[in-house]
Amino acid sequence: MGAQQEGKKMKVPLNSSDKLFKEIRDLNFEVVVQVLRQKATSMKQDYTEMTTTHQTVSELKDFVKKLNSLPEMTRHINLAQHLSTFTSKHSFQSRLDMEQTLVEAQSYDICFDYIEELIQKQEPLVSVLRLLILFSITNSGLPKKNFDHLRRELLHSYGFENMAMLNNLEKAGLLKKQESKGNWLTIKRNLQLVAEDTDTTNPNDIAYVFSGYAPLSIRLVQHAVRSGWRSMEETLRLLPGPHSEMKRGGFSSSSSFDKLHGAPAAVDRQLLMEDAPWYLLFSLEG
């Protein structure tokens, strides 16, 4: 990670060898700012006490220890300040609100108009496609009229050289025309992908990291660990792509698994003899 020091760039590691980073690395960004503010305030108060009151040798030693962490503190405050220049922008907040609206699968017309406006403003293509793909997945595709319109607008705004890419996204099922009723709302409800109330200060669910959204892949792993796939078999069938279960004594799969490109030709016999069941899940998450 690059950082600025006296006008020069320097590289610093962001890992648990940095004690402060170890403390804040898994916190929500808003909470990180609060923690840094508290530590800076505490250090300022300690300095004030040092200059206005008589301190014992032990107290002086403790204060010096705190001073040793000052470079780390300064580094992370600078990083937080740099990130806040992006997160405080209106465009960032509006995009975050739109992502949450898309995940909720509500206000279709508002979402459509927002993406259309991004295309007309020629916002970065990758950013536009990410929203468009999320829009398509949560609605099980777009109505033909809307699909053709946005596709045409994309090619006009970003160039016809992107036609092959759009075709590939369509082949992959990431961007498609709506052919049937969507099942996203059922998946979202059954897997509890959206948490209504998230406590960012004392989190008890992974959704706190993503502003209330729990990634589908993480929810699947949680279900596998807690109760296995059997309890959610109906929900798994709603997900795109094949899924297979490998258990002690044999290997069973759906018919579509045999056609999966790159599937292993044989399974290690020793692996099948393990007491605990093994699971293979092939899924596509937007």
Residues of the chain with CATH 3.90.830: 2-87
Say which CATH architecture domain 2-87 belongs to.
Alpha-Beta Complex (3.90)
- Least confident range from 13-22, 41-50, 62-71, 95-104: namely 62-71
Q: Which two tokens stand for residue 94?
A: 């509006």
pTM of the model: 0.71
Burial (Cβ within 10 Å: 0-12, 13-18, ≥19) of residue 182? middle
Instruction: Render pLDDT for 24-66 as a digit per residue (tens, 0 to 9).
Output: 888 888 888 888 888 888 878 877 777 777 777 677 677 667 7
Nearest to 245 by CA among 231, 260, 230, 235: 230
34-48, 136-150, 259-273: which has the highest mean pLDDT? 136-150
Quick one: pLDDT at residue 228?
A: 80
Mean pLDDT of 166-190: 91
> In the chain, where does the domain assigned CATH 1.25.40.850 lie?
90-171
Token code pair at residue 219: 């929810």
Residues 104-120 have a mean pLDDT of 92
Paired strand residues for 250: 247
- Residues whose CB falls within 8 Å of the CB of residue 280, separated by 6 or more in sequence, listed in order: 243, 244, 245, 246
Contact yes or no for 118/111 (Cβ under 8 A): no
Please report the pLDDT score of residue 271 as a whole number. 38
Residue ranges in the chain assigned as alpha helix (H): 19-24, 29-52, 57-68, 70-87, 90-104, 108-120, 125-138, 144-158, 163-171, 184-190, 216-226, 233-238, 269-272
Q: What is the CATH number of domain 90-171?
A: 1.25.40.850
